[in-house]
Every structure is written in C-alpha cells, then in structure tokens.
Amino acid sequence: MIWIDEAGMIVRPPEPGWPPGDDYPDWLRSFLDDRDVAIEKKASEIEKDDPELAARMRGGQERDSYPDAIRDWAHNGADSQFVMTPDEVLAASTDRGVDKSQGAAHFELANHLWTEGDRESAIKHFNEAHRLQPDNWTYKRQAWSLVGNEAAGGGELGRFNQGPLPGAEADWPFAGTFTSETSKTPAADYYPNTM
C-alpha cells in the first residue's frame, strides 16, 4: 500500500496493508477469529515462562488496524495521526537497490506472462524474483498461489494451496513452499508490521 494525498504527495511510503476482516467470507472470518483466540490462549499460558515467545506469537499483523488508519486519514486528512511528513516518508522508505528493482521487474513480468498463458516463462521470472528478493513474501506467495491453485484444479480454496499436491513434489517449480518456508520463519514475521 502507498498513501498519496490529493496534491500528489506521498504521505505514507510503500508498506504492507490489510483489508478489513468484515470483507472476508464468513468461513474465513470464523477461521481467523478462532485462530486468534487459540493464539492468545497459548500466549497467555506461556507468557510467564517465555515472555519473548509470547510476544512473538502476539506480534502478528492486526488486520483491522490498517483500514481504521485509512478511515482516520479520510476523515482527518493532513491532520490524521497516521500521515507522515516528507522527512518521515523518506526515513521510512526502504532501500531500492539494483536487486530489489530487478526483482520487482521480474515479478511484474512473471505476472503478465502468467495472465497471457505463458506458464513456463512466468515461472522462470517468478524464480528470478525470488532469487533477487529472497525475503519478499508477496512475490513467493503470489507464485505459490498461482501454481498451487492450478495444481488443485481451482475452486474457492484452490488459491490457498501453496505447495505441491502429495505425490507431485517433483513437478513443483519453486525452491520452497509456504509450509517449508514458514517452518523456518518465526511466527508473524512473514511480512513487516505496518502500524
């Protein structure tokens, strides 16, 4: 997400942003609510013995806070507590070196090629984007979801398949999967926290 005001000024730099939970299908909203309750229960149980782990468990994205911030900006404009000064925007902006720029180009090209039906070329460019930006979860999950959905035959839940189906591991065109990568990554560290 990036926030640009009516005068064309960037008032928040590119950052992860989340849709409000009330826009989710009922089954997903219910799943996420149940998961959050279970995480909080477990974090409360271990907080005394391992406060660092409990904090990490609670350190996930608060998906409702980002839409609330946008509403605050829409209501208060430049006086919103979430609007940054130009100096703050520059300080919060991340380095855009050659690898990031080339990774972004490969990612955009991969998406274009995928929509044009050139699967083989798209996968080549997705893999190059992953190589150039190995910590970019958006790039990984997009590629894994597209190929995973294809392997699962589509459908409402197909896009949540982000790895090979059992028995088809040799056909998976990427070095990692959602499951293999998340098992190596601390909880809630897939995307940087925003607000």
SS (H, E, C) 72-98: HHHHHHHHCCCCCCHHHHHHHCCCCCH
- Tell me the per-residue pLDDT of 60-111, one tens digit each, with 9 for 90 and over: 556 668 888 999 999 999 999 999 999 999 998 877 789 999 999 999 999 9
Supply the pLDDT for residue 84: 96
Is residue 192 situated within a structural domain? no
SS3 (DSSP) at 118: coil
Same domain for 68 and 131, yes or no, is no
Give the confidence band of 42 by pLDDT, cuts at 50, 70, 90: confident
Same domain for 131 and 172, yes or no, is yes
Q: Which domain holds residue 53?
A: 3-92
Among 112-116, 152-156, 170-174, the least confident range:
152-156
Is residue 188 situated within a structural domain? no
Query: How many structural domains compose the chain?
Result: 2
Task: Give the residue-averaged pLDDT of 34-43.
Answer: 80
Is residue 33 situated within a structural domain? yes
* CB proximity list for 91: less than 8 A, separation 6 or greater: none
Percent of the chain with pLDDT over 70: 84
Please, what sign has the CA dihedral across residues 18, 19, 22, 25?
negative
Same domain for 9 and 31, yes or no, is yes
Contact 1, 71 (CB under 8 A): no
Domain boundary (92, 109, 135) is at 92
Is residue 191 situated within a structural domain? no
What length is written for the chain?
Answer: 195
Domain boundary (77, 92, 107) is at 92
* CB proximity list for 195: less than 8 A, separation 6 or greater: 62, 65, 66, 69, 82
Supply the pLDDT for residue 139: 93
For residue 75, report the phi and psi dihedrals to the nearest 5 degrees.
-80, -40
Residue type, 107: F
Q: Is the pLDDT of residue 56 over 80?
A: no
Contact 149, 157 (CB under 8 A): no
Percent of the chain with pLDDT over 90: 46
Residue type, 38: A
Q: Is the pLDDT of residue 181 over 90?
A: no
Same domain for 16 and 77, yes or no, is yes
Same domain for 7 and 84, yes or no, is yes
Is residue 193 situated within a structural domain? no
Q: How far, CA to CA in Å, does 85 sit from each of 10, 29, 62, 156, 162? A: 9, 35, 24, 42, 39
Between 47 and 168, residue with greater pLDDT: 168
Supply the pLDDT for residue 190: 58
Same domain for 74 and 108, yes or no, is no
Supply the pLDDT for residue 65: 81
Same domain for 7 and 81, yes or no, is yes
Is residue 195 situated within a structural domain? no
Task: Round to whole Å and give the CA distance between 30 and 36.
Answer: 10
Same domain for 171 and 103, yes or no, is yes
User: In which element (H, E) is residue 41 found?
Assistant: helix 26-46
Same domain for 117 and 174, yes or no, is yes
Whole-number average pLDDT of the chain: 85
Domain boundary (35, 69, 92) is at 92
Supply the pLDDT for residue 58: 63
Q: Is the pLDDT of residue 117 over 70?
A: yes
Among 22-26, 115-119, 131-135, 137-141, the least confident range:
22-26
